[in-house]
Amino acid sequence: MWTFRSRQKASTLPVALPLLAVRYAPVLGAGRTAPAGKPFLIPIRVEHQPGSTGGSVSKLTVQVSYDDGTTWRTAPIKLDGGSWVAAVTHPADAGHVSLRAIVADSLGSQVEQTIIRAYLLRSR
Protein backbone atom coordinates (compact mmCIF):
# COMPACT_ATOMS: atom_id res chain seq x y z
CA MET A 1 0.00 0.00 0.00
CA TRP A 2 1.41 3.37 -1.01
CA THR A 3 0.81 6.80 0.50
CA PHE A 4 2.29 9.81 -1.25
CA ARG A 5 1.88 13.52 -1.81
CA SER A 6 1.67 14.95 -5.28
CA ARG A 7 2.36 18.58 -6.03
CA GLN A 8 1.80 18.25 -9.75
CA LYS A 9 -0.12 21.05 -11.39
CA ALA A 10 -2.73 20.26 -14.01
CA SER A 11 -0.91 19.21 -17.15
CA THR A 12 -1.23 16.88 -20.06
CA LEU A 13 2.31 15.57 -19.57
CA PRO A 14 2.82 12.39 -17.56
CA VAL A 15 4.73 12.81 -14.32
CA ALA A 16 6.47 10.12 -12.26
CA LEU A 17 4.84 9.75 -8.84
CA PRO A 18 7.09 9.72 -5.76
CA LEU A 19 6.41 6.06 -4.99
CA LEU A 20 8.81 4.12 -2.78
CA ALA A 21 9.97 0.56 -3.47
CA VAL A 22 11.97 -1.82 -1.29
CA ARG A 23 14.54 -4.06 -2.96
CA TYR A 24 15.95 -7.05 -1.06
CA ALA A 25 19.21 -8.57 -2.23
CA PRO A 26 19.94 -11.65 -0.09
CA VAL A 27 22.68 -13.91 -1.40
CA LEU A 28 20.78 -17.15 -1.98
CA GLY A 29 21.90 -20.59 -3.03
CA ALA A 30 20.44 -22.94 -5.60
CA GLY A 31 16.66 -22.98 -5.62
CA ARG A 32 16.37 -19.58 -3.84
CA THR A 33 17.57 -21.03 -0.55
CA ALA A 34 19.34 -19.70 2.54
CA PRO A 35 20.68 -21.76 5.45
CA ALA A 36 18.28 -22.57 8.30
CA GLY A 37 19.49 -22.24 11.89
CA LYS A 38 22.21 -19.70 11.09
CA PRO A 39 22.69 -15.93 11.10
CA PHE A 40 21.92 -14.35 7.73
CA LEU A 41 22.31 -10.84 6.29
CA ILE A 42 19.76 -9.29 3.95
CA PRO A 43 20.96 -6.21 2.02
CA ILE A 44 18.12 -3.75 1.39
CA ARG A 45 17.74 -0.73 -0.89
CA VAL A 46 14.92 1.80 -0.81
CA GLU A 47 14.23 3.50 -4.14
CA HIS A 48 11.87 6.10 -5.51
CA GLN A 49 10.25 5.69 -8.88
CA PRO A 50 12.73 6.89 -11.53
CA GLY A 51 12.07 10.48 -12.55
CA SER A 52 10.22 11.35 -9.35
CA THR A 53 11.31 13.79 -6.69
CA GLY A 54 11.17 11.85 -3.44
CA GLY A 55 12.56 12.72 -0.03
CA SER A 56 15.20 10.95 1.99
CA VAL A 57 14.24 7.84 3.97
CA SER A 58 13.16 8.87 7.46
CA LYS A 59 11.89 5.50 8.72
CA LEU A 60 12.59 1.90 7.79
CA THR A 61 11.30 -1.15 9.62
CA VAL A 62 11.99 -4.67 8.35
CA GLN A 63 10.18 -7.70 9.69
CA VAL A 64 10.49 -11.44 9.03
CA SER A 65 7.97 -14.23 9.35
CA TYR A 66 8.44 -17.97 9.24
CA ASP A 67 4.71 -18.85 9.22
CA ASP A 68 3.39 -17.07 6.10
CA GLY A 69 2.83 -13.79 7.93
CA THR A 70 0.83 -15.01 10.90
CA THR A 71 3.50 -13.64 13.23
CA TRP A 72 6.24 -11.10 12.51
CA ARG A 73 9.59 -10.36 14.18
CA THR A 74 11.32 -7.02 13.73
CA ALA A 75 14.83 -7.49 12.36
CA PRO A 76 17.65 -5.24 13.49
CA ILE A 77 18.90 -3.09 10.61
CA LYS A 78 21.86 -0.82 10.10
CA LEU A 79 22.80 1.65 7.42
CA ASP A 80 25.84 0.57 5.42
CA GLY A 81 26.78 3.29 2.94
CA GLY A 82 23.64 4.06 0.93
CA SER A 83 21.98 0.73 1.71
CA TRP A 84 20.66 -1.03 4.77
CA VAL A 85 21.37 -4.51 6.02
CA ALA A 86 18.95 -6.59 8.11
CA ALA A 87 20.45 -9.25 10.36
CA VAL A 88 18.33 -12.32 11.06
CA THR A 89 18.87 -15.80 12.42
CA HIS A 90 16.62 -18.27 10.67
CA PRO A 91 15.11 -20.95 12.91
CA ALA A 92 16.45 -24.45 12.30
CA ASP A 93 12.96 -25.86 11.77
CA ALA A 94 11.53 -23.20 9.41
CA GLY A 95 10.97 -23.89 5.72
CA HIS A 96 10.64 -20.41 4.23
CA VAL A 97 10.96 -16.69 4.98
CA SER A 98 8.45 -13.90 4.40
CA LEU A 99 9.58 -10.26 4.45
CA ARG A 100 7.75 -7.04 5.24
CA ALA A 101 9.10 -3.50 5.12
CA ILE A 102 7.50 -0.25 6.26
CA VAL A 103 9.19 2.85 4.85
CA ALA A 104 8.53 6.58 5.06
CA ASP A 105 10.42 9.49 3.51
CA SER A 106 10.92 13.08 4.58
CA LEU A 107 8.28 14.37 2.13
CA GLY A 108 5.47 12.18 3.44
CA SER A 109 5.58 9.24 1.02
CA GLN A 110 5.14 5.80 2.62
CA VAL A 111 4.95 2.18 1.59
CA GLU A 112 4.24 -1.10 3.33
CA GLN A 113 5.50 -3.97 1.22
CA THR A 114 5.01 -7.66 2.06
CA ILE A 115 6.48 -10.66 0.27
CA ILE A 116 5.14 -14.00 1.47
CA ARG A 117 7.62 -16.85 0.96
CA ALA A 118 10.34 -14.55 -0.34
CA TYR A 119 12.86 -17.39 -0.20
CA LEU A 120 13.25 -20.93 1.10
CA LEU A 121 15.40 -22.34 3.91
CA ARG A 122 17.50 -25.45 3.71
CA SER A 123 18.68 -27.60 6.57
CA ARG A 124 22.21 -28.88 6.67
62-114 pLDDT, tens digit each: 999 999 999 999 999 999 887 899 999 999 999 999 999 999 999 888 999 99
Domain count, the chain: 1
Q: Which of 46, 42, 121, 47 is nearest to 85 (CA)?
A: 42
Domain hosting 116: range is 17-122
Q: Tell me if 1 is assigned to some domain.
A: no
Q: Tell me if 12 is assigned to some domain.
A: no
pTM over 0.75: yes
Residue 1 pLDDT: 61
Q: Tell me if 29 is assigned to some domain.
A: yes
Bridge partners for 102 per DSSP = 61, 112
Q: Tell me if 2 is assigned to some domain.
A: no
CATH code assigned at 39: 2.60.40.10
Q: Which of 32, 13, 35 is nearest to 24 (CA)?
A: 32
Q: Tell me if 4 is assigned to some domain.
A: no
Residue 123 pLDDT: 84
Residue 31 above 70 pLDDT? yes
